[in-house]
Amino acid sequence: MTTLRFLKGHGTENDFVIVPDHDGVLDLSARQVAALCDRRAGIGGDGLLRVVRSAKDPAAAGMAGEAEWFMDYRNSDGSIAEMCGNGSRVFARYLVESGEAAPGTMAIATRGGVKTVHVPADGGDVTVDVGAATLPDSAGIEVALPNGTRRPARNVNMGNPHAVVFVADLDDAGDLRTAPPVTPPTAYPEGVNVEFVVDRGPRHVAMRVHERGSGETRSCGTGACAVMVATARRDGAELPATYTVDVPGGRLVITERADGGVEMTGPALIVAQGDVDLDRLTLRG
C-alpha cells in the first residue's frame, strides 16, 4: 500500500487536492494527478497543489528568491500550468494552518514567478498579488457561441493565457463541458482559459469560465483578474480601479493598482484531510 497524505481546500469553490511534499520526494505522474482529481474514483478537484520547499524542487531553482515554498500546480487532467490565483490563496492558507508559515504577508514561488500573498491572522479573506497583466494583440481572436454567433475575445495574459468574451447573458456560453472553439487556432498555441462576462452594475461583473486542463470550474482566480483588466480597459477606467467579480462559487474583489499590479481578495478554506492509497487509484489513458 502506498499511502499519500492529502488535504482538500477551495477558494470560491475552485477546489484543490493539496499534497504536502515538503522535502520534494514525490514524483506524481500526470495520470496519478488526474486520478487524484477524479470526482468519482479519486478525491476530486479542479487541480492539485503540491507543497514543496523551493530549495527541494528543480522547477523552483534560480527563481524562488526569498520564497521558502514552491506551489507545484497541476490541472485536473494532470497538465502543468504557470499559475493558479485561487490555488495560491489556498496554498498560503494551508501553510498558515499547518504552522509552516506565520499569518501575514509571505512570498510563494510559482512557475509564473514569485507571488506575494497576505493571510490575515483572524482567518479572513486572503489576498494575492498576481502581478501585472500583459495584453497581447487581440486582433481577429473570436470565440464561437452555441447560438451560431462569434464574439470577439480580449487576449489577456496573467502569467497564464486567457480569452475574455463579453456576452449578453451567461447562458450564451452554453454547456462548457467541452472547450469553447477559439479562432484562429494559432492565437493560443499552449491552449487557453476562456471567460464569459456580463455586467451586473457599476464596477461589478459576473463570469463563467472554461479552464484549460480542467473544464468548467466554479471559479478561476487568474480568470477573474483577466476579466477585471479587460473590463477596466473596456470602461476606460482610471487606475487604481477596483471591481467585484462574481463567479458561480462566490465573489472576488480585484484591484488593478496604478503601477499595474493586480490584487485579488476572496475566501480560501481548508475543509478536509486524510490519506489515500495510490495503488487503488484508477489510472486512465
Q: Check binding of 90 to ligand LBFN2T5F (CB under 6 A).
A: no
Residues catalogued as catalytic: 84, 220
Q: Which is nearer to ligand LBFN2T5F, 261 or 278 (CB)?
A: 261
Q: Which of 32, 54, 86, 110 binds ligand LBFN2T5F (CB under 6 A)?
A: 86
Provide the 3-class DSSP secondary structure of residue 111: coil
User: Minimal CA–CA distance to 276: which of 20, 13, 10, 76?
Assistant: 20
Does 193 belong to an annotated binding site?
yes
Q: Check binding of 110 to ligand LBFN2T5F (CB under 6 A).
A: no
Q: Check binding of 84 to ligand LBFN2T5F (CB under 6 A).
A: yes
Least separation in angstroms between CB 41 and ligand LBFN2T5F: 21
Distance, in Å, from the CA atom of 33 to the CA atom of 228, rounded to the nearest integer, reads: 31
Taking a C-beta distance cutoff of 8 angstroms, is the pair 161, 192 a contact? yes
How many degrees, rounded to 5, is the angle at CA 8 between CA 7 and CA 10? 140
DSSP H helices in the chain? 30-37, 85-97, 221-235
Q: How many other CB atoms are found less than 10 A from the CB of residue 100?
A: 15
Q: How many residues bind ligand LBFN2T5F (CB under 6 A)?
A: 17
Distance, in Å, from the CA atom of 274 to the CA atom of 265, rounded to the nearest integer, reads: 28
How many degrees, rounded to 5, is the angle at CA 20 between CA 15 and CA 21? 135
Q: Which of 220, 228, 229, 269 binds ligand LBFN2T5F (CB under 6 A)?
A: 220
Does 147 belong to an annotated binding site?
no
Q: Which is nearer to ligand LBFN2T5F, 90 or 278 (CB)?
A: 90
Q: Check binding of 87 to ligand LBFN2T5F (CB under 6 A).
A: yes
Provide the residue count of the chain.
285
Angle between helices 221-235 and 85-97 (to 10 degrees): 130
The 8 Å CB, 24+ separation contacts for 175-178 are 175/146, 176/208, 176/209, 176/210, 176/215, 176/216, 177/215, 177/216
Least separation in angstroms between CB 47 and ligand LBFN2T5F: 6
The strand pair at 154-157 and 142-144 is best described as: unpaired
Instruction: Identify residues 148-207 at the interface with ligand LBFN2T5F (CB under 6 A).
Output: 160, 193
Q: Check binding of 45 to ligand LBFN2T5F (CB under 6 A).
A: no
Q: Given the rule CB under 6 A, which of 35-43, 109-117, 215-223, 253-261 is the region that contacts ligand LBFN2T5F?
A: 215-223
Q: Which of 32, 54, 75, 231 binds ligand LBFN2T5F (CB under 6 A)?
A: 75
Q: Given the rule CB under 6 A, which of 20-28, 81-89, 106-114, 247-255 is the region that contacts ligand LBFN2T5F?
A: 81-89
The residue to which cell 499534497 is assigned: 19
Does 155 belong to an annotated binding site?
no
Q: Which residues are annotated binding-site positions for substrate?
A: 14, 75, 85-86, 160, 193, 211-212, 221-222
Give the interface with ligand LBFN2T5F as residue ranges (CB under 6 A). Answer: 14, 47, 75, 81, 84-87, 160, 193, 211-214, 220-222
